[in-house]
């Protein structure tokens, strides 16, 4: 169990609503649906209503400070079944990348691979007390695009299994290119925190508002978004 999962949840009952995608830049096709993940009757472009409101506020903040730029939405709501799909997909991809066979793995090797997977993927828990953040409709994975619709180079990719995913990976670098990566990550963090979001301690692209991780980071006694039931 991770520290933030000890925070109790009292779900406020706020509905999932569709993100007004026309106001943002959007990853198309959706990265997980492209791989075969099934969202059922819901969409990955949903969030709780207040979270959508705050995401629009963050977009407004961005465009006031950096005209022409937009938030680029990579992923938002994610049912537990999709979380499981992506965890399994990532584990299988690691096996293939390393040229390993599951049948020939030692328990130690298998444990080491799972630890790598869970560096960026929350455990797909069905326990309502420990929901994966994205299953609450309160977490969103994003980056930025410029006024030509081109993605900013953040010095690493979303969902990348490497140290480069750490938000401050480039923070102490004296290299000009690395410093620009850090500056862009800080712009993203700034416009989101101004709207009330908090960034995942280990992922430069992941922001949430109202879930357990957000409550833990902001020292709240309770989270007000839990797992979306039937999601």
Q: What is the pLDDT of residues 67-107, one digit of tens each?
A: 999 999 999 999 999 999 999 999 999 999 999 889 888 99
Among the ranges 37-41, 117-121, 178-182, which has the highest mean pLDDT value? 178-182
* Region of residue 173 (left: phi > 0; alpha: psi -120 to 50; beta: else): beta
Three-state secondary structure call for residue 213: helix
| pLDDT (average), residues 54-75 | 97
Contacts of 183-186 with C-beta under 8 Å, sequence gap 24+, read 184/144, 184/152, 184/153, 184/154, 185/154, 185/155
pLDDT-derived band at 39, boundaries 50, 70, 90: very high
Please count the other Cβ atoms lying within 10 Å of the Cβ belonging to residue 93.
13
Nearest to 7 by CA among 145, 131, 126, 143: 131
The domain locations on the chain are 3-79+128-217
Q: Is the pLDDT of residue 42 over 90?
A: no
Distance in angstroms between the alpha carbons of the first and the last residue of the chain: 22
Confidence (pLDDT) at 91: 96
Long-range contacts of residues 157-164, Cβ cutoff 8 Å, at least 24 apart: 158/74, 158/75, 158/205, 159/31, 159/90, 159/120, 160/120, 161/90, 161/94, 161/116, 161/117, 161/119, 161/120
3-79+128-217 folds as Muramoyl-pentapeptide Carboxypeptidase; domain 2 (3.30.1380)
Report pTM.
0.96
| Digit-coded pLDDT (tens) for 139-167 | 999 999 999 999 999 999 999 999 999 99
Give the span between the Cα atoms of 179 and 182, in whole angstroms: 5
pLDDT band at 229 (very low <50, low <70, confident <90, very high): confident
How high is the mean pLDDT of the chain? Answer: 96
Which positions are catalytic? 203
182 pLDDT more than 70: yes
Residue 231 in this model has a pLDDT that exceeds 60 = no
Structure tokens at 88: 């399994």
* Structure-token match 């357990």, residue found: 212
Give 53's pLDDT tier (boundaries 50, 70, 90): very high
């Amino acid at each position: 169990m991770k520290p933030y999962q000890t925070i109790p949840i009292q779900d406020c009952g706020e509905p999932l609503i569709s993100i007004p995608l026309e106001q943002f830049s959007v990853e198309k096709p959706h990265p997980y649906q492209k791989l075969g993940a099934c969202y059922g009757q819901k969409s990955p472009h949903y969030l709780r209503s207040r979270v959508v409101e705050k995401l629009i506020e963050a977009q407004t903040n961005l465009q006031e400070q950096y005209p022409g730029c937009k938030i680029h939405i990579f992923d938002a709501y994610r049912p537990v079944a999709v979380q499981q799909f992506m965890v399994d997909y990532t584990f299988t991809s690691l096996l293939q990348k390393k040229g390993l066979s599951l049948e020939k793995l030692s328990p130690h090797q298998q444990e080491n691979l799972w630890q790598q997977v869970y560096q960026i993927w929350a455990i797909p828990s069905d326990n309502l007390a420990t929901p994966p953040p994205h299953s609450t409709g309160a977490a969103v994975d994003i980056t930025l695009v410029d006024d030509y619709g081109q993605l900013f180079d953040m010095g690493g990719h979303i969902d990348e299994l490497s140290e480069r995913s750490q938000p401050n990976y480039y923070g102490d670098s004296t290299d000009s290119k690395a410093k620009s990566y850090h500056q862009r990550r800080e712009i993203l963090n700034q416009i989101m925190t101004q709207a009330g979001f908090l960034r995942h301690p280990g992922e430069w692209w992941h922001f949430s508002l109202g879930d357990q991780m957000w409550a833990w980071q902001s020292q709240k006694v309770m989270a007000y978004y839990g797992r979306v039931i039937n999601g």
